[in-house]
Amino acid sequence: MSRPQFDSIIRLLFLVTAMLGVALPLADAVKRVGKTATAAPIDARYSAVASALPPQATLGYVSDLPDRGPGLGLFLQAQYALAPRILLEGDSHRLTLANLQDPAKLAAVCAANGLAPVKVDPDGVALLEKKGAP
């Protein structure tokens, strides 16, 4: 087989495979229909707290999740939703954001850090204030 013939066969194969390849993404689209659950925007979880904060605020941050893995993800989501406010780990600021996977732990978190709730969202997000702060 000469080189031009070989090239022609390869090109034909290339075209046929390319056309067949069209089926893959279409099958993917069909497969996804019905399997996709609608997710709420990240902002929705933090909207109540965000409305109570000035844009330039710097907040402490406490959570019932570890600092890495899902805990880090939750922290970054809160930072994204509350931007341009700044979140810093710990409770050294006048206001602190509690971002809890288990909302029932809010009282324990407040007690452990000497904080009092200012605004509480039932989904586990709460704005806390240092007890005795002016």
Partner 1 sequence: MTIAARVLAGILAAVAIGVCGPGLLDAALPFHRRAGIRRGLILFVGLSLGLSLWAAVGLAAFFARMSSLPDLMGGDAILALAGGAAMLAWRRARKTDSVPVVEIDPADDISSLMICFLLLMIVGSAAVFALQVRQRPDGGYDAWAIWNLRARFIYARSSHTFDAAFPHADYSPLWPALLARIGWLAGGLSTAAPMVCGALAATFTAGILFFGVAWFRGARAGVVAAIMLLGTQELIDHAADQYADVPLASVFLATGVLLALFLESRSTSRLRMAFLAGLLGGAGALVKNEGMIYVVALLIGLAVAAAKFRRPGGVIEIGAFVAGAVPMLLLLGVFRFGFAPANDMLSGGAAFAVAHDIDSLPAADDSPHRLGASGDSSAGAPRSLARRLTDSRRYRTVLFAVLGRLIRIDRWNIFLLAAAVSFVLRPLSKQDAVARAALGTAILLTCGGYFMAYVATPHGLEWHINTSMNRLILQIWGVLLFLTSLRLNGPPAPVD
Is the preceding peptide bond at 84 cis, omega within 30 degrees of 0?
yes
Give the C-alpha separation, 52 to 40, whole Å.
21
The one-character DSSP state at 100 is: -
Token duo for residue 48:
């109540």
Q: Which residue lies nearer to partner 1 by CB, 99 or 131?
A: 99
Instruction: Show the CA angle centred on residue 82, arms to residues 78 and 87, nearest 5°.
Output: 65
x/- site string to partner 1, residues 58 to 97, per CB under 8 A? ---x----xxxxxxxx-xxx-xx--xx-x-xx--------
Sites for partner 1 among residues 15-44 (CB under 8 A): 15, 17-22, 24-26, 28-29, 32-33, 36-43
**54 in contact with partner 1 (CB under 8 A):** no
Amino acid at 36: T
Residues that bind partner 1 (CB under 8 A): 3, 7, 10-11, 14-15, 17-22, 24-26, 28-29, 32-33, 36-43, 55-56, 61, 66-73, 75-77, 79-80, 83-84, 86, 88-89
